[in-house]
């Protein structure tokens, strides 16, 4: 079959972030924009000739168009075998699983995660390496350089592959295998949690709702929860992946997953509620009448993971991103395992996982994961929760309250100031940095600053240092405020202020979060002069 070499013009804006190249669909729709970027990736992959490649995406608008291009380009670039999910679907964690299981050289994951989809929404292309995790910066920088100097791309001249039918077809000199997107992933899940025990839980009348927010986890949750584990039909809602996510903003937090929140806080709440994001790597957990913060969820999973078959030998260690609450550290201390504090961004966990220093990890931004793959994994977190619920046989909210009674409660909230003027946001951070030395000992309301710094991370595996990862202010009263600018925003700057306060007294575990954190929020506002420097008198979003 003919391989066409098509002349292209380089693009200078194809620098991938940590989660790949993410831009508006309209940007990707420019002539040769996608081909240029994919060719740059293939040129950067070492050893493509004869190797296996995985391709899949979250089903958002433009997914299938790009999948067809990527298949024909992969066939023209020497890959021998290409595994692609049926209908072009693979959740991010499933892609990681398939890459590892089939010893692929890597995979193209088409997703813009929790960003809205549709013709006016976002699209993204990311490359994951043979270990199943996102490419490191050395790779993405090389892709960027290549993309800015591209002269031609290679593509086979062939009809589209039928993505609806499982099985093998030839494409140029390559074999394309359309795979069931769920099968390998479900098999991995079955090795980690006790499917039998969870089936019994559902048989005993336990009820849950999983809201897939019309994104990629629908088919996974239906196949595993309803078909395999026997949850009643209808347990998974918004289960059909839609190109525009049915207008949902597929970010599983109390603001965007409001239908689930209303149900779980209402009179007909089932025993357990969960949601996942656009590409299936984030998770949200809600007990009846009680939203479980991602920070608490990580701590609770850390405390109980040994009950699940995949973790019965115990955990080697646990890691959390710096702004994530310190709840997991308290569990690690009790278990006698190491806890690590990393900068925001999943990539910082990869070295710790590869070196076997940690088994579980998680972030306040709703990502939780383990050493089973190299991405965070939304449905896995839900299944581990279910296995723990099935073993302990107590209501989910009781498990959370019992956890607080044993370890104390870390009240937690995040205040986001979105779409700020970039210069104003940078000024605020600079001013804050400038006054760090003067803060210790100062009082703000009832709180006294004990310690503060600009977080710098030294990777314990390779010794690399990542400075300026956010400002931490620790108060003597065991409260903390953290300030950082979002690294994922698409317009202007977003200031995130993370607030927490530890409460050991069990009689004070049922207070309103906003009331407990008001003094910390006031202190944070005063210290950083937020109102004056941003011109905003309230955050845009509180979660």
Per CB under 6 A, residues contacting ligand G6P are 19, 113, 321, 344-346, 363, 365, 367, 486-488, 496
Question: CB 460 → ligand G6P: shortest distance, Å?
Answer: 19
The DSSP code sequence of 9-63 is ---S----BTTBEEEEHHHHTSTTHHHHHHHHHHHHSTT-TT-EEEEEE---TTH
- Surface-to-core class of residue 427, CB atoms within 10 Å of its CB (0-12 exposed, 13-18 middle, 19+ buried): middle
Instruction: Name the binder of 106 from ligand G6P, Zn ion, none, CB < 5-8 A by kind.
Output: none
Residue 19 or 543: which CB sits closer to ligand G6P?
A: 19
CB-based closest residue to Zn ion: 113
Nearest residue (CB) to ligand G6P, 211 versus 364 = 364
Q: Decide which of ligand G6P, Zn ion, none touches 277; Cβ closer than 5 to 8 Å per partner kind.
A: Zn ion
| Residue labelled with tokens 């390559």 | 174
* Residue 364 DSSP one-character state: T
Q: What is the Cα–Cα distance from 169 to 531, expressed in whole angstroms?
A: 61
The residue of the chain with the least Cβ separation from ligand G6P equals 486
d(CA 476, CA 470): 20
Distance of alpha carbon 473 from its chain centroid, rounded?
26
**Minimum CB–partner distance for residue 375 and Zn ion (Å):** 9
Partner whose binding site includes residue 346, from ligand G6P, Zn ion, none (CB under 5 to 8 Å by kind): ligand G6P
461 Cβ contact partners less than 8 Å away, ≥ 6 residues apart: 351, 352, 354, 355, 357
3-class secondary structure, 414? strand
Nearest approach in angstroms of CB 485 to ligand G6P is 8
Instruction: Check residue 306 and report its DSSP letter.
Output: G
Question: 274 pairs with which residues across the strands?
Answer: 210, 285
Take residue 374 and report the two structure tokens written for it.
């190299």
Rounded least distance, CB 331 to ligand G6P, Å: 20
Catalytic status, residue 113: yes
CA pair distance 374, 132, nearest whole angstrom: 5
Q: Give the nearest distance from C-beta 310 to ligand G6P in angstroms.
A: 22
Chosen from ligand G6P, Zn ion, none, partner binding at 279 (C-beta under 5 to 8 Å by type): Zn ion
For 154-216, the DSSP string reads: EEE--PPP-TTS-EEEEETTEEEEEE-TTHHHHHHHHHHS-HHHHHHHHHTT--EEEE-TTST
Which of 113, 214, 370, 413 is catalytic? The answer is 113
93 with 373: CB under 8 angstroms?
yes
Angle at CA of residue 512, ends 511 and 517, nearest 5°: 100
Comparison of 35 and 279: residue with beta carbon closer to Zn ion: 279
Which residue, 110 or 201, is less far from ligand G6P as judged by CB?
Answer: 110
- Smallest distance, ligand G6P to C-beta of residue 347, A: 7
- Say which entry of Zn ion, ligand G6P, none residue 488 contacts (CB below 5 to 8 A, set by partner kind): ligand G6P
Measured CA to CA, the distance from residue 377 to residue 95 in angstroms comes to 11
For ligand G6P, the closer CB: 211 or 277: 277
Shortest Å, Cβ 486 to ligand G6P = 3
487 binds, among ligand G6P, Zn ion, none (CB under 5 to 8 A by kind): ligand G6P
Q: Which long-range contacts (CB under 8 A, 24 or more apart) does 135-139 make?
A: 135/16, 135/106, 136/347, 137/18, 139/44
Q: What is the DSSP letter of 492?
A: S
- Please give the residue ranges that form the binding site for Zn ion (CB under 5 A): 113, 277, 279, 281-282
Q: Which does 365 bind (CB under 5 to 8 A by kind): Zn ion, ligand G6P, none?
A: ligand G6P
Q: Identify which of residues 346 and 385 has a Cβ nearer to ligand G6P in the complex.
A: 346
Give catalytic residues, as residue numbers.
113
């Amino acid at each position: 079959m003919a391989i066409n070499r098509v002349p292209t013009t380089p693009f200078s804006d194809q620098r991938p972030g940590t989660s790949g190249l993410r831009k508006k669909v309209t940007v990707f729709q420019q002539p040769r924009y996608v081909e240029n970027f994919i060719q740059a990736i293939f040129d950067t992959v070492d050893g493509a000739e004869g190797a296996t490649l995985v391709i899949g995406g979250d089903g958002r608008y433009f997914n299938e168009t790009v999948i067809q291009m990527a298949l024909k380009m992969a066939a023209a670039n020497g890959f021998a075998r290409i595994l692609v999910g049926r209908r072009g679907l693979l959740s991010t964690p499933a892609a990681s699983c398939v890459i590892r299981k089939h010893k692929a050289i890597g995979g193209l994951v088409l997703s813009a995660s929790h960003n809205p989809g549709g013709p006016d929404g976002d699209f993204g292309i990311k490359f994951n390496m043979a270990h199943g995790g996102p490419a490191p910066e050395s790779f993405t920088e090389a892709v960027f350089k290549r993309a800015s100097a591209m002269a031609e791309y290679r593509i086979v001249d062939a009809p589209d592959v039928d993505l609806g039918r499982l099985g093998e077809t030839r494409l140029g000199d390559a074999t394309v295998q359309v795979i069931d997107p769920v099968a390998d992933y479900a098999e991995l899940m079955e090795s980690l949690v006790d499917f039998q025990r969870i089936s019994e839980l559902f048989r005993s009348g336990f009820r849950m709702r999983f809201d897939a927010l019309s994104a990629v986890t629908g088919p996974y949750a239906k196949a595993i929860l309803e078909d395999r584990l026997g949850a009643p039909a209808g347990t998974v809602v918004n289960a059909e992946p839609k190109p525009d996510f049915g207008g949902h903003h597929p970010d599983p937090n109390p603001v965007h997953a409001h239908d689930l929140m209303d149900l779980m806080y209402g009179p007909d709440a089932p025993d357990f509620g969960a949601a996942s994001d656009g590409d299936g790597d984030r998770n949200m957990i809600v007990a009846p009448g009680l939203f479980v913060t991602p920070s608490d969820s990580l701590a609770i999973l850390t405390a109980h993971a040994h009950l699940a078959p995949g973790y019965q030998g115990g955990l080697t260690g646990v890691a959390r991103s710096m702004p994530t609450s310190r709840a997991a550290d308290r569990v690690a201390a009790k278990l006698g395992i190491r806890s690590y504090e990393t900068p925001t961004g999943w990539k910082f966990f990869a070295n710790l996982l590869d070196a076997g220093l940690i088994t579980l990890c998680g972030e306040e931004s709703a990502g939780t994961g383990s050493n089973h793959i190299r991405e965070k994994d939304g449905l896995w977190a839900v299944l581990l929760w279910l296995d723990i619920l099935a073993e302990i046989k107590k209501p989910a909210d009781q498990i959370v309250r019992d956890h607080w009674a044993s370890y104390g409660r870390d009240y937690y909230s995040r205040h986001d100031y979105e779409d700020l003027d970039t210069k104003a946001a940078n000024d605020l951070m600079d001013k804050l940095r400038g006054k760090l030395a003067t803060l210790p000992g100062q009082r703000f309301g009832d709180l006294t600053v004990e310690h503060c710094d600009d977080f710098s991370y030294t990777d314990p595996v390779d010794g690399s240092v990542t400075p300026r990862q956010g400002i931490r202010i620790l108060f003597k009263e065991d409260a903390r405020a953290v300030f950082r600018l979002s690294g994922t925003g698409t317009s202007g700057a977003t200031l995130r202020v993370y607030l927490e306060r530890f409460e050991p007294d069990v009689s004070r575990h049922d207070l309103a979060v906003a009331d407990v954190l008001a003094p910390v929020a006031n202190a944070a506002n005063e210290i950083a002069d937020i109102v004056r420097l941003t011109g905003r008198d309230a955050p845009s979003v509180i979660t």
